[in-house]
Amino acid sequence: MKSIRGRITIWMLTGLALLWLAGGTAIYLTSRAAMLAQIDTEIQGLSRQVRAQSRGPGGGRGRRHEDAGPVHSAVFPEHTYYQVWNLDGEVLLRSEELGGQDLPRLDASAELAAFATVELRPGTRVRLAATHFAAGRAGAGGRREGRGQGGMNEPVLVAVARSLEEFEAESRKLAWGLGLIGLLAAAGAWLLLSLALRHGLRPLRQLGEAVATVDASSLDVRFGNTDMPRELRPICARLDGVMDRLQQSFERERRFSADLAHELRTPIAELQVMTELSLKWPEERTEQQIHDIRGIATRMRGVVDTLLQLASLEGEGTESLQDSVVLADLIREAWLPCAGLAAKRDLEVRIEWPEDGSMPGNPELWRHVLGNLLANAAEYATAGGRIIVEAGEHSLRVLNTAEGLHPDQVGRMFERFWRADSSRTGAVHCGLGLSLASACAEAMGLHLTATLRQGPNEAPELVMELGDRGA
Amino acid sequence: MKVRRFNPMRVLVVEDSKHLRTAVAKALKRSGYAVDTAADGEEGAWLARESTFDVVVLDIMLPKKDGLEVLDELRRDGIETPVLLLTARNSVDDRVRGLRSGADDYLGKPFELAEFLARVDVLCRRRYGRRSAVVEAGDLRVDTNAKVARRGGQDLDLTAREYALLELLVMQPGRVLSRTRIEEHLYDGRGSRVSNVVDSTVYHLRRKLGPDGREIVRTRRGQGYVFEEARP
């Protein structure tokens, strides 16, 4: 059963049914016992009347039961039987309705009557009470029978039996009544439960409906609000967190798609227009144009190669890339192409990496990382600022002066095609360098981070740090 | 007689890609347009305000100010120059956004040069309320596609500049065009200007139109020139 409503309903109804069963059974048994006790009290009273009536006028010693008249029928209700024995077991008196059949003789003491439910005949169950009356004892009044009273004064055993037919009928009525009430109660409980569940689960249903409407165009939907029941708030908070991440991810993908489109379509447009111009007006053809076309094609190839490299790095495991690499020579090698630009931009450069300093990884990937980080620093460091390559704690750091860089830009630096200038102007960099550096770092089991901090003279500095993932 | 293409229309190309900007400008000039260019949004917005253009070709992803921002500013300032958005962002959403921002047309990159030139041509004609490439005024017939002018069934032997002037005038009949305005259309922003070229061109055009040339191209003293319908 995969329905919360169904489970709660079944559990509740089963529980209620069991409770009703237990309660109903208790009520039934208690009622039966009470009814039976009442019958016992009645037949015990009848026993005394039998004893009293059986003495009769002049009754007493020597009077035989055939001499004793029947007990007045007005005393005895229908389907009630009596029999009297002396201590020798001789039947002194017996009701005619018995038809010569004897009632079972129970052992009763002088103090305590005996009761039993017996089957008198097949299909006829009776409640039997046997009371022992001592000699001279009379009815409830306790008056001693004396001379002149006459009657049977010897000790006798009086048995009175009453048919349980009425009792059983009443019990059956009770059982049926309890059963019917139980069914009605169950129906009522089911109805109430349904309403309660419907109302109680409505926020959950509404939440489900709201989640079902979410698609790529409605990622700004959020679910947490003060109207939500307390039990659902943690779920809503989590959902909102997931939606935030999803929205950011979609936004990144959208930006990536737009930027990729621009990076590929613009050079294709350039090539197309330039070649069509040359074909339509051959006199416009120049050698410079041919060089420009080649430059555009080279740039496109660079973009495609970098993208393919990124794709292959993402699938790469790190197990085979964990050698220890001495970085000093690689740093110098990577810096060489940037030195001219740095000098032109009047940048102060300090490479403070120890000669024997090493980091885990792979030389080829380190070349990509260092090449991109240093080229980035040389290109975008504030003119007249500084670039430093130094060792951190189990990490390598490249920092450069970065005036004009906003903290919110730092978080996006490693997105593909991201550039501070959203126009994407310039043929040199397409915004994949830092993505590639980051992917290379991950492939080596390292992690590349970017932070903005205050440098000397309050000038902001961008710090690129490459270290262990756990650091 | 066919004349070398010389389109009196003036086009502003705002595109940050140097190669594309140069190639597109060259293609437009070869098609007879007077062309000005800008490499960023700020320069493009300034030029569009300062000068009169018949069409603005505007890239979206521009430095300093993006194309949609430029477009928005121009429209807010009441500049109704037709704008052709040229961009690598080709999704339906981007197109709709661009058109709703006030652009008159949208062309995604990469594009066919012929299509680009045709769209610019359409926007120029639309600027003057012309749906057809052929303008008829009385017995004068000017085919703006073929760049040919005929009167009374006879081809008019016009120079490129004379034709450009005639086309500019017939596209706006009854409207006085100042000398400055005419000059702007006959030259792009970086071309050299000769001080009396307008008067000289008007003179020669009138002669070639016929004895009633002065009636067709009238002078409004202190204001400029206006085209009146040529009567047979």
Q: Is B41 helix (H, G, I), strand (E, B) or coil?
A: helix
> B93 at the A interface (CB within 8 A)?
no
pLDDT exceeds cutoff 60 at A210: yes
Determine how many CB atoms are found less than 10 A away from the CB of residue A46: 24
Provide the sign of the torsion angle of the four alpha carbons A370, A294, B107, B76, taken in this order: positive
Q: Residue B138 has what DSSP assignment?
A: B
Query: Rounded to an integer, what distance in angstroms lies between the CA atom of residue A151 and that of residue A68?
Result: 9
Mean pLDDT of chain B: 85
Q: Which residues contact A372 (CB under 8 A, 6 or more apart)?
A: A433, A434, A436, A437
Shortest CA gap B153–chain A (Å): 32
Residue B4: what pLDDT? 41
Query: Rounded to an integer, what distance in angstroms lies between the CA atom of residue A350 and that of residue A356?
Result: 17
Residue whose token pair is 């006199």: A283
**A260 contacts in chain B (CB < 8 Å):** none
In total, the C-beta contacts within 8 angstroms joining chain A to chain B are 82
pLDDT (average), residues B79-95: 86
Extract the tokens encoding A358. 């090493």
Greater pLDDT, A399 or A54: A399
Residue B61: what pLDDT? 86
Contact predicate B67/B58, CB 8 Å:
yes
Contact predicate B47/B204, CB 8 Å:
no
> B97 at the A interface (CB within 8 A)?
no
> B117 at the A interface (CB within 8 A)?
no
pLDDT exceeds cutoff 70 at B1: no
pLDDT (average), residues A199-214: 90
What does the H/E/C string look like for B152-208?
CCEECCCCHHHHHHHHHHHCCCCCCECHHHHHHHHCCCCCCCCCCHHHHHHHHHHHH
Give helix B67-76 / helix B41-50 axis angle, nearest 10°: 30
For the ranges A259-263, A454-458, B64-68, the one whose mean pLDDT is highest: B64-68
Contact (CB<8Å) A273/B64? no
Percent of chain B whose predicted confidence (pLDDT) is above 90: 36
Contact predicate A54/A149, CB 8 Å:
no
Contact predicate B98/B68, CB 8 Å:
yes
Extract the tokens encoding A271. 């090539």
pLDDT (average), residues A55-71: 49
Q: Which residues contact A240 (CB under 8 A, 6 or more apart)?
A: A222, A223, A224
The identity of residue A320, as a single letter, is S
pLDDT tens string B152-211: 888 999 988 888 889 888 888 888 888 888 887 776 554 455 567 888 889 999 999 988
Q: Which residues contact A148 (CB under 8 A, 6 or more apart)?
A: none
pLDDT band at A145 (very low <50, low <70, confident <90, very high): very low
Rg (CA), chain B: 18
Chain A CA closest to residue B26: A277
Query: Rounded to an integer, what distance in angstroms lies between the CA atom of residue B107 and that of residue B143?
Result: 26
**B64 contacts in chain A (CB < 8 Å):** 423
pLDDT tens string B23-52: 999 999 888 888 999 999 999 999 999 988
Shortest CA gap A256–chain B (Å): 12
Chain A CA closest to residue B116: A273
Give helix B18-30 / helix B113-127 axis angle, nearest 10°: 60
Q: What's the burial of A87, exposed, middle or buried (CB within 10 Å: 0-12/13-18/19+)?
A: exposed
Determine how many CB atoms are found less than 10 A away from the CB of residue B89: 23
- The string of DSSP letters for A402-417 reads -TT--HHHHTTTTSTT
Contact predicate B185/B207, CB 8 Å:
no
Residue A153: what pLDDT? 65
pLDDT tens string B53-66: 999 999 998 888 98
Shortest CA gap A266–chain B (Å): 6
Extract the tokens encoding A187. 């129906």
Residue whose token pair is 């009770």: A174
Q: Which residues contact A464 (CB under 8 A, 6 or more apart)?
A: A373, A376, A377, A397, A398, A399, A448, A449, A450
Residue A88: what pLDDT? 86
Residue whose token pair is 């001279």: A136
Tell me the CA distances in angstroms from B118 to A268, A271, B23, B124, one per residue in order: 20, 20, 16, 10
pLDDT (average), residues B217-225: 89
Q: Is A219 helix (H, G, I), strand (E, B) or coil?
A: coil
pLDDT band at A132 (very low <50, low <70, confident <90, very high): confident
pLDDT band at A71 (very low <50, low <70, confident <90, very high): low
Nearest to A299 by CA among A416, A428, A421: A428
> B113 at the A interface (CB within 8 A)?
yes
Query: Rounded to an integer, what distance in angstroms lies between the CA atom of residue A382 and that of residue A405?
Result: 10
pLDDT (average), residues B72-100: 88
pLDDT (average), residues A27-35: 95
Query: Rounded to an integer, what distance in angstroms lies between the CA atom of residue A450 and that of residue A373?
Result: 11
Contact (CB<8Å) B113/A262? no
Contact (CB<8Å) A265/B40? no
pLDDT exceeds cutoff 80 at A141: no
**What are the backbone dihedrals phi and psi of residue A281, each rounded to the nearest 5 degrees, phi first?**
-130, 80
**B111 contacts in chain A (CB < 8 Å):** 269, 272-273
Query: Rounded to an integer, what distance in angstroms lies between the CA atom of residue B137 and that of residue B146?
Result: 17
Residue A75: what pLDDT? 60
> B40 at the A interface (CB within 8 A)?
yes
Residue B58: what pLDDT? 96
pLDDT tens string A355-398: 999 998 888 889 989 999 999 999 999 999 999 999 988 899 99
Q: Residue B142 has what DSSP assignment?
A: E
pLDDT (average), residues A90-104: 86
pLDDT (average), residues A287-304: 89
Residue A443: what pLDDT? 85
Query: Rounded to an integer, what distance in angstroms lies between the CA atom of residue A48 and that of residue A71?
Result: 12
> B49 at the A interface (CB within 8 A)?
no
Shortest CA gap B181–chain A (Å): 30
pLDDT exceeds cutoff 90 at A347: yes
Contact predicate A273/B113, CB 8 Å:
yes
Contact predicate A91/A85, CB 8 Å:
yes
pLDDT exceeds cutoff 50 at A37: yes
**B88 contacts in chain A (CB < 8 Å):** 261-262, 264-266, 269
Contact (CB<8Å) A265/B113? no
Q: What's the burial of A440, exposed, middle or buried (CB within 10 Å: 0-12/13-18/19+)?
A: buried
> A297 at the B interface (CB within 8 A)?
no
Chain B CA closest to residue A295: B19
pLDDT exceeds cutoff 90 at B222: no
Shortest CA gap B109–chain A (Å): 6
Nearest to A126 by CA among A93, A166, A91: A166
Query: Rounded to an integer, what distance in angstroms lies between the CA atom of residue A7 and that of residue B82?
Result: 67
Query: Rounded to an integer, what distance in angstroms lies between the CA atom of residue B47 and that of residue B65?
Result: 14
**Residues 236 through 265 of chain A touching chain B, CB cutoff 8 Å:** 258, 261-262, 264-265
Query: Rounded to an integer, what distance in angstroms lies between the CA atom of residue B44 and that of residue A322?
Result: 53
Residue A32: what pLDDT? 94
Q: What is the ipTM of this complex?
A: 0.73
**What are the backbone dihedrals phi and psi of residue B107, each rounded to the nearest 5 degrees, phi first?**
-130, 125
pLDDT exceeds cutoff 90 at A428: no
Shortest CA gap A273–chain B (Å): 6
> A288 at the B interface (CB within 8 A)?
no
Residue A263: what pLDDT? 79
pTM of whole model > 0.95? Answer: no
Chain B CA closest to residue A291: B19
Chain A CA closest to residue B24: A273
Least confident of A50-64, A257-271, A273-287, B194-208: A50-64
Determine how many CB atoms are found less than 10 A away from the CB of residue A322: 13
Q: What angle do CA A370, A371, A374 make, to 5 degrees?
A: 75
**B61 contacts in chain A (CB < 8 Å):** 262, 422-424
Query: Rounded to an integer, what distance in angstroms lies between the CA atom of residue A95 and that of residue A99?
Result: 8
> B96 at the A interface (CB within 8 A)?
no
Extract the tokens encoding A460. 């902001």
Q: Is A58 helix (H, G, I), strand (E, B) or coil?
A: coil
pLDDT tens string B124-155: 888 777 667 788 878 888 888 778 899 888 89
Residue A134: what pLDDT? 77
Query: Rounded to an integer, what distance in angstroms lies between the CA atom of residue B91 and that of residue A10?
Result: 53
Shortest CA gap A280–chain B (Å): 9
Q: Which residues contact A429 (CB under 8 A, 6 or more apart)?
A: A375, A376, A379, A419
> A292 at the B interface (CB within 8 A)?
yes
**What are the backbone dihedrals phi and psi of residue B40, each rounded to the nearest 5 degrees, phi first?**
-145, 170
pLDDT exceeds cutoff 50 at A467: yes
Shortest CA gap B15–chain A (Å): 10
Q: What's the burial of A45, exposed, middle or buried (CB within 10 Å: 0-12/13-18/19+)?
A: middle
Residue A436: what pLDDT? 86
pLDDT (average), residues A127-146: 62
> A421 at the B interface (CB within 8 A)?
yes
Torsion of CA A351, A355, A357, A360, to 10 degrees: 90
Least confident of A55-59, A72-76, B213-217: A55-59
Q: Which of A271, A281, A425 sits opposite B16 (nearest CB)?
A: A425
Chain B CA closest to residue A420: B63
Residue A86: what pLDDT? 86
**A280 contacts in chain B (CB < 8 Å):** 27, 30, 113
pLDDT (average), residues A237-245: 91
pLDDT band at A162 (very low <50, low <70, confident <90, very high): very high
Percent of chain A whose predicted confidence (pLDDT) is above 70: 87
